[in-house]
């Protein structure tokens, strides 16, 4: 079967392992509308790849993903139909990740922020480079963290820890992520892809029906939580776009980025 093709998602084959790379390095792999639509499409195509047994998901360049694209904020504020379409794509992306039968190994090569963090934590095994970190700063840009982090984080760590980070947007260094159960392995940056791919090959070498249906069985918890909570979360996130604080967020974000050391 031919590999999926996309301008913003690179897909390569390593035997039965598919290497999927978020490929907007100039934007730190932030999810614009194109990439938000393309990743679930690629995952759907991989679900039909009868030779595939495991997936490694990583980011090109120095980041895993910087999350949602701040350039979308004015459009989301002005156009409710544009906003709702984006939220539907976000729901589709999360659903595809947790429902894909193939095990997905995240190779978090750098910052995984916002939606990027949600994507990483929706994977089945998480490798992080020592220099990488998680952060879900929705609240710092006046948004409800409604796109999936509130589903995955409490499932991976404690509810109190999830609240600590989701209510503040604080960064979680790789070693902290490992200590509280948000990551499986932390390795030197130069070893990340070899280690993640080796683990994916190990999964690919096991009986496929046993691995795939065990993954789906374990993820039933996430699917049940998503069915109950995501509609509220996404509706609340949509409502955030109507607040004065949201309208001010792009300017404040640019101001923070301009500060020395940011």
Determine which of 11-20, 48-57, 62-71, 121-130 has the lowest per-residue pLDDT on average.
62-71
Quick one: which H or E segment has residue 38?
A: helix 33-46
* Nearest-angstrom CA–CA distance, 135 and 148: 13
pLDDT digits (tens, 9 = 90+) for 121-135: 999 999 999 999 999
Instruction: From 187, 205, 200, select the one nearest 127 (Cα to Cα).
Output: 187
Q: Say yes or no to pLDDT of 255 above 80.
A: no
Residue range 9-191+200-208, CATH number? 3.90.226.10
> What confidence score (pLDDT) does residue 85 get?
92
Q: Mean of the pLDDT values across residues 173-179?
A: 98
> In this structure, what are the phi and psi dihedrals at residue 103, rounded to the nearest 5 degrees?
-65, 135
> What is the pLDDT at residue 117?
97
222-260 burial, b for 16+ CB within 10 Å, e for fewer?
beebbeeebeebbeebbebbeeeebeebbeeeeeeeeee
List pLDDT tens digits, range 138-154: 999 999 999 899 999 99
Give one DSSP letter per residue of 189-223, joined into a string: GGGHHHHHHHHHHHHHTS-HHHHHHHHHHHHHHHH
Contact 145, 139 (CB under 8 A): yes
Query: 262 pLDDT exceeds 60?
Result: no
138-152 burial: b if 16+ Cβ within 10 Å, else e: bebbbbbbbbbbbbb
Q: Work out the mean pLDDT of the chain and round it to a whole number.
A: 94
In the three-class reduction of DSSP (H, G, I as helix; E, B as strand; rest coil), residue 109 is classed as coil
- Report yes or no: 65 and 122 within 8 Å, Cβ to Cβ: no
Does the structure show a pLDDT above 80 at 169? Answer: yes
């Amino acid at each position: 079967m031919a590999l999926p093709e996309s301008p913003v998602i690179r897909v390569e084959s390593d035997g039965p392992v598919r290497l999927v790379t978020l490929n907007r390095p100039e934007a730190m792999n932030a999810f614009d509308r194109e990439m938000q639509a393309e990743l679930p499409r690629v995952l759907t195509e991989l679900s039909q790849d009868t030779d595939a047994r495991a997936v490694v998901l990583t980011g090109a360049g120095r980041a895993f993903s910087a999350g949602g694209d701040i350039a979308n904020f004015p459009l989301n504020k002005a156009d409710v139909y544009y906003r709702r379409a984006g939220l539907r794509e976000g729901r589709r992306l999360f659903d595809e990740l947790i429902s894909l039968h193939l095990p997905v190994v995240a190779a978090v090569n750098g910052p995984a922020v916002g939606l990027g963090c949600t994507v990483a934590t929706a994977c089945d095994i998480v490798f992080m480079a020592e220099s990488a970190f998680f952060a879900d700063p929705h609240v710092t840009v006046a948004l409800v963290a409604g796109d999936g982090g509130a589903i995955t984080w409490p499932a991976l760590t404690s509810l109190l820890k999830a609240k600590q980070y989701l209510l503040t947007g604080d960064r979680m260094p790789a070693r902290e992520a490992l200590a509280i159960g948000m990551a499986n392995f932390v390795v030197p940056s130069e070893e990340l892809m070899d280690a993640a791919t080796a683990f994916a090959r190990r999964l690919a070498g096991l009986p496929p029906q046993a691995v795939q249906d065990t993954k789906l069985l374990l993820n039933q918890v996430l699917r049940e939580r998503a069915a109950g909570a995501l509609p509220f979360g996404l509706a609340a996130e949509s409502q955030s776009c109507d607040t004065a604080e949201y309208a001010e967020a792009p300017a404040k974000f640019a101001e923070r980025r301009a500060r020395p050391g940011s």
